[in-house]
Amino acid sequence: MSSALSVAASTTLNEDRVKAVYSNFANGYGHVTYTFTAAPVPEPETYGMLLAGLAMLGFIAKRNKRSA
């Protein structure tokens, strides 16, 4: 018994994302394609704003707790 399996893979890189496509075809029974797209990495300023916002919320919660 022989089996035919064909596999194709490709990767593309743009400025804002990486896309990988993997595709296989076996004995005429099925064709499966997987596509993976990497999420962009946030800028450092995003983390700074997140930390500043959390600090502000902590300060407000502490002030409200003290006055109650």
Query: H-type helices in 1-68, by residue range?
Result: 44-67
Q: What's the pLDDT score for residue 49?
A: 94
* Spatial separation of the C-alpha atoms in residues 33 and 8, rounded to whole Å: 9
| pTM for this model (two decimals) | 0.40
User: For 36-66, how does the pLDDT look when each residue is reduced to its tens digit (9 = 90+)?
Assistant: 666 677 788 989 999 999 999 999 998 888 7
Query: Cβ contacts of residue 39 below 8 Å, gap of 6+?
Result: none
Tokens coding 26: 């076996």
Position of tokens 């800028």? 43
**Band (9; pLDDT cuts 50, 70, 90):** confident
What residue ranges do the domains of the chain occupy?
A: 1-37, 41-68
